[in-house]
Structure 1
Amino acid sequence: MPTPDDDTVRFWGLASTHRQLAGSALAHRAAAPSLGLANFLYAVVPADADTLRRDLAEAARDGCTRVVVERRTPPWVEAELLLDGWQAEDELRLVLPTRHDLTRPAPPHEVRRADDADPGWAARAAMLRTDHVEEDVRHGVPVRPQVMTDATVAHRQDLERHATYWCALRHGEVAGFVCGWLAPSGQGVVEDVFVAPDHRGHGIATALIHHAVARLRDAGAGPVSIAAEVGDTPGHLYSRLGFRPHHTARSLTALAVSG
């Protein structure tokens, strides 16, 4: 069974099942097929358009409507999907090189393992709901129902079996969280950085990223990667911290999916 080329994509598929199709591999989370981060086709190398269509149809029966474009993906596949009306989405990958430290100091906030600071996921669940509302308002679409946020929380809880979440505290409250994962490639992956609205502007995100990078380096990570939406504010923060633009990851969706 192949694995995704991109370690960030691989991270999000850790809580999914994987199976080989005729010309692709499918990551599928049966409990939440609408979660685009957990349901996707990858290693898409069909011999011809008919094979591609069969794989897409099989994936669609499982609710999957997202295709990850990789180096091995034949260029005609992306062209075919775009011609059929699929929507392309690009995401930045930034990397902190091996033996390079973050360029800004860590603000003096307390950061603790999330299974200690937020064992029942109540604080993180509330913040994920805020994240969904903010994202939908920003994109001008109806706010997704609570049940979709609940599915996202369950996905993150399963990811915590493979990766580590940390929480930052401010004034005795859980103010934000971050996740770190050491990929088999030796690259550290920092994901899921979020700060509650009432605690923004106080260096919480910077403190969380510092902590995640330090713990990943302690675990043996060389380079450490982080992802950001194209044109979104976090990408500029990551760049100021010393992460360097590395590449753009592309995926295509047939329908709107959530993360």
Structure 2
Amino acid sequence: MTHPNKYNGLIWQESLPGGAHWSGVIRRGTVLRLTDLQGNANVAMLINNLEVKNERYNMPDTLKAQKTAFLTTPNMCFSDMGRVMCSIIADSCGWHDTIGGLSNATIVQKKYGQKSYQEAHNDYFKNGYDSLINELGKWGLNASDIMPNINWFSKVRVEDNGSMTFVTNNSKAGDHVDLRFEMDCIVSLSTAQHPMDTNPEYNPQPIELSVYKSLPVTHDDPCRLHRAENQRAYYNTKVFYGENPND
């Protein structure tokens, strides 16, 4: 696990309440740390290339290229153009869901009931889909840009019979994951509960966002060397930015 002191200094930090949503630009050469403050958080994430917004995180390519069904270090998140958007360089949790998808208004109402904005103001019941639509709209994106997302801190296990099981207590208070961004990206987040969360109560958990300046990527970087596909994706990313791909 990489300690933040090994990065080149904190750039900014803020907390995001449970049931909230956020989006912003995370620059290449920086590390975004997501921290589960109280345990059992879920952070749904979409990633888009800042320059070419319809280039985005691609779940099928990310999984099949790295022969996995979930994410942890030293995995990379690939775009649909065969480039690496970010690399998972540290992870105290160990399993992050890629197949569970997003909650929506129907799921939330069926599980938790209904609490509208008119009734509860900012404490109304949120869902992942509408939250991310809200954030995508700030960047000129829309529902067509909702792709299979990442659910950081959540674990969904696929059983031998093909059924899916949500594993409770996957993430503890203080668990974190560090994402080194290799492209300038629009990152959209929702901290609504996972759609398969077995908690019968509406109880989304808060997280902390921290951005650090990354150390240079070396030739022996574990994410870069994880698989041949990772090396090709890193090569393609360097070419995209007009840099020597062999550096």
TM-score between both structures, scaled by the size of structure 2: 0.28
Question: Highest Rg: 1 or 2?
Answer: 1
Higher helix share: 1
Task: Give the TM-score normalised by the residue count of structure 1.
Answer: 0.27
**Bigger relative contact order (CA 8 A; separation at least 6):** 2
